[in-house]
Amino acid sequence: MGESHSDPIHYRSLCSVADAIHDGQISPVELTEKLLSRIGSIDGQLMSYATVMAEQARESAREAEQEIEAGNYRGPLHGVPIAVKDLCFTAGTPTMGGLKVLSDFVPGYDATVVRKLREAGAVILGKLNLTEGALSGYHRDFPIPVNPWGENLWAGVSSSGSGVATAAGLCFASLGTDTGGSIRYPAMANGVVGLKPTYGRVSRYGVLELAASLDHVGPMTRSVKDAAIVFEAIAGFDDNDPSSLRDSIPKIADSLTDEITGLRIGVDEHYLSNGSNPALVDAIHEVIEVLRKLGAEIVALTMPRSDPMELRNAWLPICAYEAHKAHSATYPSRADEYGGYFGDALRMGAAMSAQDYANSTKLRQKISEQYESALEEVDAVICPSGGSVFAVEKEVQYGNMEGLRSVIQNFQGQFTIPADLAGTPAITVPCGFSDEGSPYTVQFLGSRLSELSLCRIAHAYERATQWHHRHPTI
């Protein structure tokens, strides 16, 4: 089941509007004005944008329109309005990272991912809100993005603004970051596609660090092909990033078809169902049946048995230690400007010794080896994307580590943390809705550099269903 043009233009896929721009059916200027108008109309209630770059966006749209009219079409991002998480440096525009200590920080250059998006001709609408420092809680000086499926619903962790803006039709794609699940959790909460690439495939240069060895940058979109287009644009080797990989980037978007015959999809019934919402598990079983009918081989396997809190206890010390290093210029000298949760994490990192960090790294290696060994048996493993969306009070999300416990206990880290520890890719895709109308998503986990296979599987499933055509009513 292909692209529907019955959706309002703000809910159409990036691919669809790219075709419309290429064919002259709509201009980048017209499209940009429509999105800016929509942001002005409804983002006051959704709070997804930290900064709207209206005049820069208009200028970029005019340039794109002139280039396209002159026959200089750069590709499917040319003239398309998108937005980026407010961790990504944008020259001359604030990059705050949800941090009071950076509330007046204006970088002098673009992050590599932002530069690449501009080179592809994208129109950057603005910067998207997030949790403080990209961890789990918000700073009181910053708003909390509101889930468009229900104002009482959690909007996800740090890439919450990216998830909200994408789901609500306030951009045609966004960038998020994922250190412990922060592309996949908000993709789950807002019912959109989220692709966390292999560590090192997308440059982190000019992206505010949370934890250097865990941070990943990736796209959030309303279709799998859209995610592939953005991934191809931002991926590739970068001399400025010491963790950057030299592996060539596959041409994913043009190779996506409905054909997945022979691809092996691993299913561990205990892994995907233990502690999960039974209705979500039923929805994932329906996904499995769709994939089976599409020709995929469903393979029983055993994933490592890891308790979510045990994984968090392996992950959090590494994250806290590296975050403390990243914030050495402002912590502890300006400790009183940090919020509760992030402040607690920085205190944890400051109290750790080099040996503590080495011990956590050793545990990480053990977990990663077990996890990667299981992934190598198949083309992808199917599981939830970190659980299902839940109700949460706004005030709780401004709390410290103890205060946020009631929120964090809903995180199913066994589905998100291992891929960050191991640096392996994963993709989240909508797969249904609850009786109350909140979205369900499914996740496909893959071995290192398997973005092509993951997108093939996710795209074939998406094309066989209609979930990605259902949008929130705002």
Kindly name the residue from 13, 158, 223, 306 that is annotated as catalytic: 158
Question: Which of 124, 151, 403 minimizes the C-alpha distance to 143?
Answer: 151
SS3 71: coil
Known active-site residue 127:
no
Residue partners of 181: CB distance under 8 A and separation at least 6 = 157, 386, 411, 413, 415, 416, 417, 420
Q: Is 122 exposed, middle or buried (0-12, 13-18, 19+ CB in 10 A)?
A: buried
Kindly name the residue from 27, 48, 60, 85 that is annotated as catalytic: 85
Kindly name the residue from 13, 136, 162, 182 that is annotated as catalytic: 182
C-alpha dihedral over 165, 433, 290, 455, to 10 degrees? Answer: 20
What is d(CA 366, CA 368) in angstroms, rounded to the nearest whole number? 5
Known active-site residue 85:
yes
Sheet holding 123-128, edge to edge: 49-52, 123-128, 81-85, 174-178, 216-221, 193-196, 426-433, 439-445, 380-384, 264-267, 297-300
| Residue 470 CB neighbours (<10 A) | 14
Is the peptide bond prior to 332 cis by the omega test (within 30 degrees of 0)? yes
Q: How far is CA 186 from its chain centroid?
A: 7
Structure tokens at 337: 């400007």
Known active-site residue 182:
yes
What is the Rg, in whole angstroms, of the alpha carbon atoms belonging to the chain?
21
Which residues are identified as catalytic? Answer: 85, 158, 182
